[in-house]
Amino acid sequence: MRKSSKPISPLRQLMIDDMTMRNLKPGIQTGYIRAVRRLNAFLGFSPVKATAEGLRLFQLHLSETGTSTATINVTVCGLRFFFEATLSKPEVVKKITAVHKPRRLPVFPSREEAAALIENAGSLKYKSAFSIAYGAGLRTNEIAHLKVNDIDSDRMVLRVGEGKGNKDRFAILSASLLERLRQWYRHANA
């Protein structure tokens, strides 16, 4: 959480303590605090006095004002946390629900487009990074934290440590990608 010079209300501090105990990340904590603050502004009184109907009307207000699906869902999660964990009043959040967001397939470059992108990347370092992203499906942060001992050429896999959601996983390593990584290793250690 970002530190502020303004005094924090005891209720907000209690919620922050509850989130800290559950090891919620700072970005999540900020979103949850923002959700309670938005509810407070909508109701015009302390959220402690909110009713299930008041929360239902708040969610309806969010939908009618064009609030994005992602924001509504973060708000719902934040309010659930506030009423269930901090206030121990789960009955108040019974009527609010997450909004379904249709999943779209990502735009994925063709083999030819990916090859052109990789070849025009410039240095061998960036060609290697783009090759890993395309060939093994790693995210930027996962590529940046990849180490030599994460490459298992016997089993032809890459060990991805603490990827998205702090989860470890394996990615398949092709022979051409392994050769590209070996080229980069030789170049970097020359």
Residue closest to 151 by CA, chosen among 137, 131, 133, 171: 171
pLDDT of residue 49: 94
Residue 21 pLDDT > 80: yes
What is the homologous superfamily of the domain 111-188 according to CATH?
Intergrase catalytic core (1.10.443.10)
- pTM of the shown model: 0.63
As a whole number of angstroms, the distance between CA 47 and CA 14 comes to 14
For 10-93, the fitting CATH number among 3.30.1540.20, 3.10.50.40, 1.25.40.10, 1.10.150.130 is: 1.10.150.130
> Model confidence over 66-94: pLDDT tens digits?
999 999 999 999 999 999 999 999 999 98
Sequence spans of domains, the chain: 10-93, 111-188
As a whole number of angstroms, the distance between CA 107 and CA 70 comes to 20
Average pLDDT, stretch 137-166? 89
Residue 2 pLDDT > 70: no
pLDDT of residue 113: 92
